[in-house]
Structure 1
Amino acid sequence: MDEKRALLEYLRARRADLLTKLDGLGEYDVRRPMTPTGTNLLGLVKHVSYVQLGYFGEVFGRPSGRSYPWDDGGEQDADMWAAPEETRADVLEIYAFSAAHADATIEELALDATGTVPWWGEERRHPTLHTVLVHVGVEVARHAGHADVLRELIDGSAGVSSPGDNLPERSAAEWAAFRERIEDAARQAAGLPTPSGAPPGDG
C-alpha cells in the first residue's frame, strides 16, 4: 500500500469510529452537551464535516458548492451543535458528502500538491496534500476520542469501532474494582486518604 492510500485508509477508519458513537442513541443523547463547553456527539460529526469540506475543498481550489453554518451572518460555532430543526439525517448527509468530496480531492491530487490555508500563519500557509492529510487525520482521530468519552458517560458504552472491541472483557463489578484501584493509586500519590483504608504512600 502506498503512502497516500495508507493515510486515506486511516482517515476513513477514524471517520467510521466517530460515526459509530451515534449508534443506538435517541435524539436527546446525540445532541445534549456533555461538557461545560457544550461538546456533544452530533456536533462532533457536524464539525468534522465542515473541517473536511474546508481542508479538502477551498484549500486546494476545489470548493464543494456547499455553504457553511457561519455564512450569511450565522453563528461562528454553529458547526459544533445541531439546532432543533436540523435533523440527524441532515448532519449525516453532510458528513457523507464531505467524506466523498475529501476522498475525490485526495485521489485526484499528488501528495506534494500544495494548497492555501488562509487561517494558518504565513510561514505554514501553503501546505502539501500530505501535510493536510496528516493534519485532518489527527483532528478526526482527536474528535473520535472525544466521542469515545462522551458515549461512555452517556450509557457506559466504550471501545473503538464497535463497543468493547479494544477493551479487556470485564464484568461491571470487575470494572468497578479496576476503577477503584486507580482511584486509590491517585489518592495515595496525592497524599490523600483512600476509601480502601490504605494509608497515603502505601502501595
Structure 2
Amino acid sequence: MADTTDLLTYLQRGRDAVLWKLDGATEHDIRRPLTRTGTNLLGLVKHLAAVESGYLGLVFDRPFPEPIPWAGADVEANADMWATPDQSRAELVDLYRRVSAHGDETVRLLGPDAEGSVPWWPGRGPVTVSFVLVHLIAETHRHAGHADIVRELVDDSAGMSAGNSNLPDGDLDWWADYRGRVDGAAERYR
C-alpha cells in the first residue's frame, strides 16, 4: 500500500481539480443543473465537503467541529448536491478547504493503519485510514470528472488542471474536425 503522503497527494490533486472548475465561471453557471440528475459544479464541492467530513471525521472518531446540516440522515435526498441561494461560493469552497485540512490532520495524527467504522456501511468490519483514503481518492476523482464535463458544457473549458490540460494541442478547427469524425463514426450505427 502506498504511504499516506502519496495518498494525500492524489487526494489533493482531485480536490484541486474540482475547485479549479469553478474558476472564471459565473454564479449562475456554477449552480445550474446541466444533467437530468441535476449535476452542477458548486453542488459537487458541497457534496465532497460532506463526504470527506464523514470519512475522515466520524469514521475515525474525529468529527469535523462545524455542523454540516446537509450531511445528516434526516435531510432531503440530494440536499448535499446543490447550493441553496443563501450558500455562497466562498462559503462552500472555504468549508471544503477546512474539511480537507481536518481530514489531512486525521490522517497525520492516526497514521495509515488506524481503524475506524463506517456507520453507513452496515455489516462491514473495521476500515483503515489507508483504505478510506483510497475510497476518497476514487470518489473525489470521479466527481472531478463530472466537474470537467459539466464545465465543458458551460463554456467549452476542458482539461485536468490549470497547468496541465492533459488534452491534445488542437485549435478550434482541429477540435471541430475531431468531433465531426467521432460523430461520423457513431452515425454509422444509428
TM-score, normalised via structure 1 length:
0.88
Task: Output the CA distance in 1 between the equivalents of 2:162 and 2:18.
Answer: 10
Deviation at 1:73, TM superposition (A): 5.3
The alpha carbon displacement at 1:121 in A equals 3.2
8 Å Cα contact 1:157-1:163 kept in structure 2: no
Deviations for 1:39-84, whole angstroms, at most 9, x for unmatched residues?
Answer: 0000001100111100000100001122222349542322111111
Does residue 27 of the first structure (1) align with residue 64 of the second (2)? no
Task: Please give the alpha-carbon distance, in whole angstroms, between the structure 2 residues aligned to 1:114 and 1:12.
Answer: 22
Structure 1 position 151, deviation (Å): 0.5
Q: Share of identical aligned residues, percent?
A: 48
Cross-structure match for 1:108: 109
Q: Does 1:97 find its partner at 2:98?
A: yes
Residue in 2 that maps onto 1:7: 7
Asked whether the equivalents of residues 22 and 41 of structure 1 are also in contact (C-alpha less than 8 Å), the reply is yes
Query: What displacement does 1:20 show?
Result: 0.2
Query: What's the CA shift for 1:137?
Result: 0.7
User: CA separation of 1:150/1:72 partners in 2, compared to 1, >3 Å: closer, same or farther?
Assistant: closer
* Distance in 2 between residues matched to 1:164 and 1:156, nearest whole Å: 16
Measure, in 1, the Cα distance between the counterparts of 2:42 and 2:125.
Answer: 30
Q: Please list, as runs of the form range in 1=range in 2, the aligned pairs for 1:52-71 lying within 5 A after superposition.
A: 52-70=52-70, 71=72
Query: 2: distance between equivalents of 1:182 and 1:19?
Result: 30
> Aligned Cα RMSD in Å?
1.6
Q: Is the contact between residue 52 and residue 98 of structure 1 (CA under 8 Å) also seen in structure 2? A: yes
Where does the alignment leave 5 or more consecutive residues of structure 1 unmatched? 193-203
The 10-residue stretch of structure 1 (64-73 or 100-109) with the greater mean CA deviation from structure 2:
64-73
Deviations along 1:68-115, one digit per CA (max 9) or x if unpaired, are 223495423221111111111110111111110000001111211110
In the other structure, the counterpart of 2:85 is 84
* C-alpha distance in structure 2 between counterparts of 1:65 and 1:161, whole Å: 31
Q: Which residue matches 1:196?
A: none
- In 1, distance between residues paired with 2:101 and 2:172? 40
Where relative contact order (Cα < 8 A, 6+ residues apart) is larger, the structure is 2
Supply the distance in 1 between the matched residues of 2:77 and 2:158 (Cα, whole angstroms): 31
Number of paired residues? 188
1:36 aligns with 2:31: no
User: How many angstroms apart in 1 are the aligned matches of 2:73 and 2:142?
Assistant: 29
Q: What is the aligned partner in structure 2 of residue 157 from structure 1?
A: 157
Q: Structure 2: give runs of 5+ residues left out of the alignment.
A: none
Matching residue of 1:171:
171
Give the match for residue 147 of structure 1: 147
Q: Which moved more, 1:68-77 or 1:34-43?
A: 68-77
Give 1:167 shift. Answer: 0.9
Normalised to the residue count of structure 2, the TM-score between the two structures is 0.93
Give the number of the structure whose alpha-carbon radius of gyration is greater: 1
* Aligned equivalents of 2:73, 2:49: Cα separation in 1: 19
Instruction: Describe the SS at the equivalent of 2:127.
Output: coil
C-alpha spacing 1:73/1:112, structure 2 compared with 1 (3 Å): closer
